[in-house]
Amino acid sequence: MKYLISQFLRLVPRKYLQLFSLLAAKSLSVFYLGNRVECPVCNHHYRNFLPYGRVTIRKNALCPHCLSLERHRLMYMYLKEKTGFFEAPVRLLHIAPELCFLKKFESQPTIEYITADLESPWAKVKMDVHNIPFEDDSFDVIICNHLLEHVENDIRAMAEMYRVMKPGGWGIMQVPLNPERETTYEDKTITGPLEREKHFGQKDHVREYGRDYPERLRMGGFSVEVDDYIKTLDPVLVQRHALKFGGHINFGDMIFKVQK
Ligand SMILES: [Zn+2]
């Protein structure tokens, strides 16, 4: 089973991964009936979440109903509890939109919702994040998760997001981060998929972020708040919603909130 999951994630193109995963997850959900875990995004409950992972498979990670992972569930709770995101009217730019948030954000009458990506089938606007086709000061909120590790010039992409953000606006910009690294590891001469996987952790990653990630966001123009939000939560809730990332790269343990 572990081998199948990891092969599946490696072979299905990124563009179609969420769609195929949704079909696979829905058909498996019948085996996971129960009430030990609950997804705060879709409110469905199960015996366990599905296992998930590319290299190391984490148990109890993927919601069979909405495909949320640990980091999505954590971010959703953060948005709800710490930002007022669902209360005040906002114009939202959601880059590389995650399937688990689409319906939620779309159905929210206070959100003017614009999804954007270079290749995602869910995105309404096809765009390159190096050249965002919107005017300066256009958005109250920008959400852009797990994209910057794929783009050629991340500082330029950050500067573009800063440009289109309204003064006083804010955003969430999560990346996979290796806390063992003091500085972000980048090498433009590494271009082959297998080499990239070996050096940066995945065949379509072009760098591996280190502890200097907030500094890079500041280079893009933002002020940055790093919130160890998960540590403020009741451990019973952390377990119930399976919020903790189990692998060696702690994707989801910190929330990176940027402001203009
Ligand atoms: Zn869910």
> Phi, psi at residue 192, to the nearest 5°?
-75, 145
Strand partners, 90: 111
The three-state DSSP-derived secondary structure of the chain is: CHHHHHHHHHHCCHHHHHHHHHHHHHHHHHHHEEEEEECCCCCCEECCCEEECCCCCEEEEECCCCCCCHHHHHHHHHHHHHHCCCCCCEEEEEECCCHHHHHHHHCCCCEEEEEEECCCCCCCEECECCECCCCCCCEEEEEECCCCCCCCCHHHHHHHHHHHEEEEEEEECCCCECCCCCCCEECCCCCCHHHHHHHHCCCCCCEEECCCHHHHHHHCCCEEEEECHHHHCCHHHHHHCCCCCCCCCCCCCCEEEEEC
pLDDT tens sequence for the chain (260 residues) = 666 666 666 666 666 666 777 777 777 777 778 889 999 999 999 999 999 887 778 889 999 999 999 999 999 999 999 999 999 999 999 999 999 999 999 999 999 999 999 988 889 999 999 999 999 999 999 999 999 999 999 999 999 999 999 999 999 999 988 888 999 999 889 888 888 888 888 888 989 999 999 999 999 999 999 998 998 999 999 999 999 875 334 555 789 999 99
Measured distance CA(138)–CA(165) in Å, rounded: 6
In the reported structure, the alpha carbon of residue 67 is separated from the centroid of ligand 1 by a whole-number distance in angstroms of: 6
The CA 91 to ligand 1 mean position distance, Å, reads 24
Ligand 1 centroid from CA 170, angstroms: 25
Distance 40 CA to ligand 1 centre (A): 7
CA of 119 to the centre of ligand 1 (A): 24
Distance 27 CA to ligand 1 centre (A): 14
Characterise 84 by phi-psi region: left (phi > 0), alpha (psi -120 to 50), beta (else). left
Distance from residue 159's CA to the centre of ligand 1 (Å): 33
CA of 29 to the centre of ligand 1 (A): 11
Q: Is the pTM of this model over 0.95?
A: no
User: Which residue spans of the chain are classified as CATH 3.40.50.150?
Assistant: 71-259
- Distance in Å, CA 229 to ligand 1 centroid: 20
Distance 200 CA to ligand 1 centre (A): 29
Sign of CA dihedral 82, 154, 16, 5: negative
Q: Which CATH superfamily is domain 71-259 in?
A: Vaccinia Virus protein VP39 (3.40.50.150)
Q: Do 137 and 161 contact (CB within 8 A), yes or no?
A: no
